[in-house]
Structure 1
C-alpha cells in the first residue's frame, strides 16, 4: 500500500508541475478570469474488482453531482457528491434468521455515499484527465448500523466511514449546442475502510449542464 501511495504521489507531483506551467502560460495570454461556478451531474455504472466483493456483488449503479470552477483556461477545481448502490448476485445463499451478521451483509445490497475534492485538466476541448479524493460512508441494507461487514478481516464490527478516491480519463461530445455536453469517462475508484480496500472499476456517463 505504501509503494502505491508513493508512486501515486510522484505522478500527482509531476502532473501538478505540468499543469502549473500550462496555467501560467495561459494566464499570461488572457488577463480575464472566469468566475462562473459550473454544475454537472451524471450516472455511474461499475463492476467490482476486489475478489471478495466480486464473488458476492454484480455491479453498482449510482448518481453524482459536481460543482466546479475554472482556475485557468485548461484547469478546473471542484467538489463532487457520489451515491453508489451495489447489487448482490442472484445465485447467493438466502438470508435466514440463523444467518450471522457477516453473512447478512455479504448477501445484501449496500450503499456508499462519498464527497470528494477533484481536479480536471483538459488536453483540448474534447479530451481531459483528472483525479479526486474524499471521504465516504458505507451502509448495508441488512443492518442500518452496519457498513462493509462482508469483509472477512473486519466482520466483527461496523465499517461505515472510509476514504474514497478516483482517477479518470475521458472525452466530451457536443450535443445540440455548445452549452450542453455529454461526457464519457473511464474511472478507477477505490473505497478504503479500516485499511482494507474495496475496489470498483467502471464506466461513468456524465451530463454537463453548463459549459
Structure 2
C-alpha cells in the first residue's frame, strides 16, 4: 500500500472494511487473504476534468445491489461520488463463495491467508475461547472496552447500521453459546482483524519524509 500520508491510509482502511462487508454480506464472498500486498492505494487524478469524468463514469455503472455501499470520500466530501475510492483490492485466489445457509457453524472451510496478517483464530484454525483472552487486572475477568457513537455523517448515511450496532458501555461480554468449536469457519470478523494487521504493518514500516532510514 503506497499511501503517502496517515490520512490516506485511514481512508483506505475504511473503504477496505466497506468492501469486505459488502462482499461477504451481499455477495457471500469472503476474500480470506487481506494483507499488505493485496490492499493497494491508487492515486486518482484530482483536476476538475478528471474528477468530473470519473463521477460520470461511476454514475453510468451498473449499480444494482450497490445502493448501500458508500466510501469515505463521500462521507467527508458529499460532492464526491459514493462509489469513488482509492482502494484496489487484489488477489482473490483464496476467496470462496459462501452460500446463504453456510453461516458460522456450518460448512467449515480450510484456513487461508498470509502469515503475519491472518487473524488469531484463523491461525489457530478454531474459535478463541475465554481462556485465550487477556484478563482485566482489576476485575480478574474478560473486559470489553467501551464503543463510542458513530460520527454524524456516518449516522446520516447508515442509520440502519447504527441502530443494529449502538454504542455500548465497557464491561464483560455476554454468555457464549454451547459448543462454538463445532463447524467453525473463518468469517468477516477475522477479515477485519487482518485489516488491523495490515494497518499495523504500515505504521511500523512507514518512514517520515527527509529522515534517514
Report TM bin, short chain: under 0.3
Q: Which has the higher helix share?
A: 2
Instruction: Please report the TM-score for the alignment, with normalisation by the length of structure 2.
Output: 0.21
Q: Which has the higher strand share?
A: 1
